[in-house]
Amino acid sequence: MELKGRSVILGVTGGIAAYKAAQLLRLLRKRGAEVQVAMTEGATHFVTTTTFQALSGKPVFSDQWDARMPNGMAHIDLSRQADLILIAPASADFLARVACGMADDLLATMVLARDCPLLVAPAMNRQMWENPATRRNVAQLAADGVRVLGPASGEQACGEFGAGRMWEPEEIIEEVIAFLAPKLLDGKRVLMTAGPTFEAIDPVRGITNLSSGRMGYALARAARHAGAQVTLVSGPVGFSAPQGVDCVNVVSALEMHEAVMAHAAAADIFIGVAAVADYRVANVAAHKLKKDVSGVPVIELVENPDILATVAALKDGPFCVGFAAESSNLEEYAQAKRRRKKIPLIAANLIQDGLGGENNRLILFDDEGVHPLMLAPKSVLASQLVEHIAYLTGKM
């Protein structure tokens, strides 16, 4: 429910991508937003007002002279109740009219009369998108403070291929959530690690752990929503990086160390969430080890570099946050780790509370004391941890 209590006007303009607006509306409501739909006359040729009324639970407005508003000023009254106006799809014609400040239908008039942010998701044929007039209009909108979402490239309804596809509803929702989130880390550069590492024994076997990467990825998303520029150095996981996050994929602890050190000097905050293998194999076999009568092969281990401690020791380095997963004596071990690595904040959890799962509980340890976070989805814990990091770094 990341949009609970938020009010969004969803503007739909004429184009085949209007069918995606129905799914977008469902996702907005699922995330807790109150949605009022306004359509251009052209949009009603692709999807009916009845569809959007059923999905929103509210009457749909499309006529500038709609008599349902007692004062006849739907363009004023509706926009004053909104946290933002989202136009999806935004046709080439509509972008041109908004760029010129026209007010020739309800939706355009509402945009011109708004006192809330405007986001637009363009959708059109590739030649229309590349046309100098459209490029000029989009540049003007961006200069006027309008947030332009996309478009994407791919196969189009006309059968051609290129830029001009409207972003998928899930991508637009993610940008809406990010746009409305408090910018607690605005302008900060956050470097993070997440997931497990894999230390090869031979070409098919290796040493790893059960980390899913979910906590790290949730934290990268939360930091990005908070306005940070996020670089995520990730071990092998089974899902894609959060939208808007720069992801560097690695496998081994040595690769993760190298990637982190390449970015650490420029970071304001470093968060070591990854479950990095403490040891790697010194004598990695070039070929798959086979069972034979000679017995069990001997595997020699050497210690991997301590990434968190190395970053924490940098002169004028970033504010460092560590993670500790323990099976017992949580406070004792977490506090010892924080002191040993000389970091200002560590987030700790018991393995049995959330390793690899969707939920977890965390306890935060810093110089001010102990701060327990109750059992919750990792996305919620990530937002709470970002708030605490913002509080601590704001005091520096």
Residue range 218-241, pLDDT digits in tens:
999 999 999 999 999 999 998 899
Mean pLDDT over residues 138-167, rounded? 91
Instruction: Name the amino acid, one letter, at 23.
Output: Q
**Mean pLDDT, to the nearest integer, of 58-72?**
76
**Which of the four pLDDT bands, split at 50, 70 and 90, describes residue 71?**
low
Structural domain boundaries of the chain? 7-180, 189-394
Is 90 exceeded by the pLDDT of residue 289? Answer: no
**Burial class of residue 160 in the structure, from the number of CB atoms within 10 Å of its CB (0-12 exposed, 13-18 middle, 19+ buried):** exposed
Does residue 152 have a pLDDT over 80?
A: yes
Q: Reply yes or no on whether the pLDDT at 206 is more than 70.
A: yes
Mean pLDDT, the chain, whole residue set: 92
Would you state the pLDDT for residue 78?
Answer: 79
Rounded average pLDDT over 52-73: 80
Residue 80's pLDDT band (boundaries 50, 70, 90)?
confident
pTM, two decimal places = 0.89
Do 7-180 and 189-394 have matching folds? yes
- Residue corresponding to tokens 């301590």: 306
From 100, 158, 247, 320, the catalytic residue: 158
Range in 8-22, 30-44, 151-165, 196-210 with the lowest mean pLDDT: 151-165
pLDDT of 352 reads: 83
Task: Give the percent of the chain with pLDDT over 90.
Answer: 81
Per-residue pLDDT, averaged over 193-222, amounts to 94
7-180: which CATH topology?
A: Rossmann fold (3.40.50)
1 falls in which pLDDT band (50, 70, 90)? Answer: confident
Higher pLDDT residue, 293 or 368? Answer: 368
CATH architecture for segment(s) 189-394 = 3-Layer(aba) Sandwich (3.40)
Residue 359 backbone phi and psi in degrees, to 5: -115, 165
Verify whether residue 100 is a known catalytic residue: no
pLDDT at residue 73 is higher than 70: no
| The pLDDT of residue 395 | 67
* Position 67 confidence tier, pLDDT thresholds 50, 70, 90: low
Q: What is the pLDDT of residue 74?
A: 61
